[in-house]
A and B are shown apart, each in its own frame.
Chain A
Amino acid sequence: MELEKNKLDSNKARDLNDSRTVIERGRRIKIAAEIGLVASSKGRQWSRALHRRLLRKKGRDYSNKNGCNNYQMMNNVGKEDHEEGGDEVVEIERRVRVLQSLVPGGEAMEMESLFEETADYIEALEGQVSAMRALATFLDGLEKKWIM
């Protein structure tokens, strides 16, 4: 009996620690974090784009995830700095493109609005990180019993 129970426990433990479940749990938590991000700054373009992305993830079956995005992507990517010549522009534009890929909804933004959105996005992310860190510390404390 005990052996069986132990085996069961160890099975459960193995499942809990199984990398897949951990990763899955982590993903779900990350989605929750992104929802938090969206909720905290609703008025911004990036938050709207992130919201759309989340909804798409949820309703993947019946929403058209391809339809709306494509023309958005074609839209403003070309509108960059024409004035300077040669290498510098290419360098900068490359980085701008990378930034566009990082910030949600960035492909549809011009340089100016991209920077604005980036600043807001950075602030939101920092807030998110510190909130999560505080939460993690608290949970850790709960578990290790320094708090309770």
Chain B
Amino acid sequence: MQPCSREMQAMALQELQIAAHDDFFDQMLSSLPPSWPDLGNPKSPWDLAGKPQDDPAGEYPPYDESSLLASRLRQHQISGGGGSGGSPAEKSMGLHLAQHQQMMLAAGMGRSSPVGAGDGGLIPMPLSLGNGGSSDSRLLLDRSRDEVDAAFKPPNSTGSEGIYNGFSSGSAQRMAQAANQQHFQGSPVPSQSFGAAPPSSGNTTTQAAAAPPRQRVRARRGQATDPHSIAERLRRERIAERMKALQELVPNANKTDKASMLDEIIDYVKFLQLQVKVLSMSRLGGAAAVAPLVADVSSEAGRGGGGGSGGSDSLAVTEHQVAKLMEEDMGSAMQYLQGKGLCLMPISLASAISSATARTTSSLIPSSLNHINSNNNNGGVGAGINGGDGPSSPSMSVLTVQSAMGAGSDTMKDAASVSKP
């Protein structure tokens, strides 16, 4: 998402400097990535509910930095007069289009690079015709609406007359709010939305009547107009997006509950960190150092592989030792494990890893894997870390030890898995 918007930014930069309105618009359209919502949609399911409110400029404070930047930009533009041809219009369009979708990025960019001089002012705002596209585009109302008309192909001037309300400097804020009230998925092209506006009679507010008084933004059903709740809602949406992205990264992320999802994420991060630690200790620490350990253990493992119960005794010893240590202090347990070249991880990952490497390694996966599941803990058990999935690393064996810790801590995933490199 980010690289995409940065590209768009660069494009926006160039586009803004183009004098020709039509060309600019066409280019902007053509440069949009195909995955973006349908721009050719002539009908906006959503009508001009996006009227900015008629309250004095200062009443609604800009609720985030992007809108602050936007208002500053607007002031700059308005004070700067007509500027070059359609560029104010274009700039404002880009500005408002950007606001809704890429709030975060905009805020970040806004912080880092405030309004530049002259035409460069809009640059920080990433271009996006995403969610708020249509609403924003409609709100792009500009005093220089003639230019806007000229810019967009089908100027239904009479009908859309009412759309073009002049804006005071504070309007940007209101627009931002209004824009964000309309969480709008489809984003019809600005020109087409202007065209669509007149037909959309029934719904709300801004009728095509000339210079209608600014009305309160009509909220969508079930949503408040309170700017704080809007901000909250947006924030929650953003958080949900991020959670979804995390879900894709973390294995076993099919939990719907936020809390359990967070649990999975935490476990996975811990697991990865542990993996780094163990890898650095057991393998890269010098195979020679580990060799004597390996010698002992592989003999155990050999016995373990040959006769399940016989081998598992020694493993059970280790198991109990670890369990005992875990009861007192996790750190010492970990150190004990590390001293043996072992690691700890949740069982789901363990089974995933062992199944993945079972093909490549000629490992003795002892039957002790079965008695993992016998002791029922909080569902977590261990798996082995593959020290190396090389071409059938001969000394690989996976051994799972299960801790007897049931009642102890609720977050303990209770299994030590041992992999002997």
**What is the interface of chain A, defined by CB distance below 8 A to chain B?**
16-17, 19, 21-23, 25-27, 29-30, 32-33, 81-83, 88, 91-92, 95-96, 98-99, 102-103, 111-112, 115-116, 118-119, 121-123, 125-126, 128-129, 132-133, 135-141, 143-144, 146
Contacts and interface: CB of A to CB of B under 8 A. Distances in A.
Given A95-B262, A141-B390, 15 more contacts: A21-B289, A22-B290, A26-B285, A82-B232, A95-B263, A115-B242, A122-B272, A128-B276, A129-B272, A133-B388, A136-B388, A136-B421, A137-B389, A137-B393, A140-B393
A92 B259 contact: yes
Nearest to B108: A113
Interface string B392-404: 0110000000000
Interface in B273-325: 273, 275-277, 279-292
A133 B281 contact: no
Which applies to chain B's interface (DSSP): helix, strand, loop or mixed? helix
B245 A119 contact: yes
A102 B266 CA distance: 8
Contacts of B280: 26-27, 29-30, 32-33, 132
Given A30-B276, A33-B276, A128-B276, A99 B266 contact: yes
6 contacts: A99-B265, A99-B266, A112-B238, A118-B246, A123-B249, A139-B283
Which of under 10, 10 to 19, 20 to 34, or 35 or more describes the interface residues of B? 35 or more
Given A119-B242, A129-B275, A29 B285 contact: yes
Contacts of A143: 287
Contact of A136 (B277, B288, B339, B387): B387
B295 to A, nearest CB: 11
B104 interface: yes
Interface string B321-339: 0000000000000010011
Contact of B338 (A23, A112, A139): A23
A16 B232 contact: no
Contact of B279 (A17, A25, A91, A136): A136
B98 to A, nearest CB: 19
Interface centre among A118, A126, A128 (most CB of B within 10 A): A118
A102 B242 contact: no
A140 B246 contact: no
Contacts of B285: 22, 25-26, 29
Contacts of A19: 339
B250 interface: yes
B371 interface: no
Nearest to A21: B289
Contacts of B214: none
Given A16-B288, A25-B286, A135-B284, A112 B104 contact: yes
B29 interface: no
Given A29-B284, A88-B259, A119-B245, A16 B289 contact: yes
B236 interface: yes
B269 A132 contact: no
B111 interface: no
A17 B289 contact: yes
Contacts of B268: 122
Contacts of A95: 259, 262-263, 266
